[in-house]
A and B are shown apart, each in its own frame.
Chain A
Amino acid sequence: MPAYYLEIAVVVLGLVLLLVEAFTPPQHKRRIGWAALAGIAATFLLLLTVKSHCGCDSPMWQFYDDSSLSLFFKGLALLCTAFVLMLGLEYLPVLEKYSARAGGGPATGEFFALPVLICAGLMWMASAIDITTIFLSLELTTIGFYIMVAYMRRNVGSLEAGVKYLILGALSTGILVYGLSWLFGATGQTGLDAIRTALPSAARGPALFAFALILIALCFKIAAVPFHFWVPDVYQGAPTPVTAFLSVGSKAAGFLVAIRLMEPFLAVESLRTTCIAILVAVACATLILGNLAAIPQGNFKRLLAYSSISHAGFLLLALASDRHTGELTSTRIIAFYLSAYLCMTLLAFAVLIIINKSTGSDELKAFDGLHRRNPFLGFATLIAAASLAGVPLTAGFLGKFFVFIAAAGAQQWLAIGIAVAGAAAGFYYYFKVIRHVYWNTAPEGAAAIPVSPVAKSLLIILIAATLVLGVYPQLILGLL
């Protein structure tokens, strides 16, 4: 089966869900979520049967790539969407409160159809190798996210986050398109393969101008420094499942697009040094800002936002190391780091949603004495925080370790120094969370926090994945 059937299947699933949703009575909207989950799971099974290029000769392959790397990122997008749908089912009571229609009754059906359409965009992003498809798939996800972020329209925070995301997202689109037009002007090509062959003979000025504009615009997608200022506000205001989707799905697909678009520039001898210097500078600034700003945070969602920025710094450092030989190439390191990041970040957001549902708060104070109120949730928080900080035997540690190996190979000593300092600062603010869970005592009269069976199975899967990837990284590296 050719790989592009997968996106078609996902789009059809999304449209059918939208149609069915219109005829579903309000009390049964939960079923839309389950149907979406089942459809995404079925597509994931189909993904396992896909073979590269399937022997068919088609003009499609000029702008659509189905290498094992693309298939891997399609898998990440599907898994992430499935987890987000489960988180959405868990989050439904909060959502119903803030999305009421004017005439009464909740409007929550689209909340499960839109992630499916965004997932199709993420999957196209994983396969896009032409600037036209890159632009279109990026916009499909971004416009979907505009709606998702502002979904709770009776909640001022969500609307405010939606407006901020809209303005900055549209700004990054404008910059990206302008950069792409200069890339097209400098090389006369739209396909990335053709751009790679045409770029060495292109004029240096326009090429570097295009590189800078494209990098700035992609920094919006991956939450890195010149375009990071939307992250904390949007993460805090958006519905929590959407925040999780933004921080994992959007970042993963954005990084693959960044790898693809940066690669032709890094391959040209005369541009290489300048481009790597710019990438390293962006990575260092991201690491410093993300980690320093995270230290004083008292809101768990904002803490995760700054943590997302600092992880983007590590990933950019791996990209800037530009390593193509041996077992650990830059691309493989980024793929592994993103898989680890998916497990631990979704774990943290799952805990947050469960706690928010029973306490109504996102603050770190709501975690006080969690290990007495629900020992299992306390343990899940411990694993998530330890892995995000990079404690050995967790997936987060190996991700950071691989980045350091690559950066040392590229002799980026200054950047390594900053990254080590950033990781050390990370230990401080992630362990603050653990302190709240295990050392602080719960407030008087705090009730035990219930965990539904769905949420419990989700937490068990994510904890297991975080620990297994921490001792057996070949599981991911072997796929590429």
Chain B
Amino acid sequence: MTTLNDYLIASGLLFSIGLFGVMFRRNIIVIFMCLEMMLNAANLSLVAFSRFNTSAGLPDYNGQMLVFFIITVAAAEVAVGLAIIIAMFRSRRTVDVDEISSMKG
């Protein structure tokens, strides 16, 4: 049977892959996908925690409610984020983060 630990290891892996992707990939779109993966890692661990924390045979639904809010917020974030990235692409013709560094100091 799958235990809480299995779910937590899977979510930890997702989170780490996302974090390393954000740090080491150079394409903004890929970075953005990695950020979404980090949010989903949190969702997975929230659902697992709530499923394994039962009271009177029912899971703790507070955690699952938070998951729905996270999904909604992530959608809003993607909408705004992609709009900004498109505006950036229009003016600079690039999605490479190394080329977006005119400010220094």
Contact = CB atoms under 8 A, between A and B. Distances in A.
- The A contact surface, by secondary structure, is helix
B85 A135 contact: no
A162 B45 contact: no
A132 B32 contact: no
A189 B38 CA distance: 22
Interface string A142-174: 010011001001101101111110110011011
Interface residues of A, number: 43
A188 B60 contact: yes
B102 A167 contact: no
Interface string B64-84: 011001100100110011001
A150 B89 CA distance: 13
Interface string B82-104: 00110110011000010011110
B45 A136 contact: no
Chain A CB count within 10 A is highest, among B18, B28, B81, for B81
A153 B87 contact: yes
Given A159-B91, A178-B45, A181-B46, A190 B77 contact: no
B100 to A, nearest CB: 5
A185 B45 contact: yes
A299 B103 CA distance: 11
Contacts of B60: 188
B73 A160 contact: no
Contacts of B42: 174, 177-178, 180-181
- The B contact surface, by secondary structure, is helix
A190 B70 CA distance: 14
B66 A184 contact: yes
Contact of A160 (B49, B62, B63, B103): B103
Interface in A294-319: 297, 299, 302
B66 A190 contact: yes
Chain A CB count within 10 A is highest, among B41, B46, B53, for B46
B105 interface: yes
B45 A160 contact: no
A146 B35 CA distance: 15
Nearest to B70: A177
Interface in A67-124: none
A18 B90 CA distance: 26
Contacts of A369: none
A378 interface: no
Chain A CB count within 10 A is highest, among B50, B69, B70, B76, for B70
B46 A170 contact: no
Contact of B22 (A150, A167, A233, A236): A167
A305 to B, nearest CB: 10
Contacts of A132: 62, 65-66, 69
Interface string A173-217: 111011011101100111000000000000000000000000000
A239 interface: no
B32 A170 contact: yes
Contact of B77 (A163, A173, A184, A237): A173
Contacts of B80: 143, 146-147, 166
Given A135-B73, A143-B77, A166 B103 contact: no
Contacts of A170: 32, 35, 77, 81
A302 B103 CA distance: 10
Interface in A210-237: 232-233, 236-237
Please name the 4 residue pairs, one residue from A and one from B, whose CB atoms are nearest each other, closest first. Answer: A174-B38, A185-B49, A177-B42, A170-B35
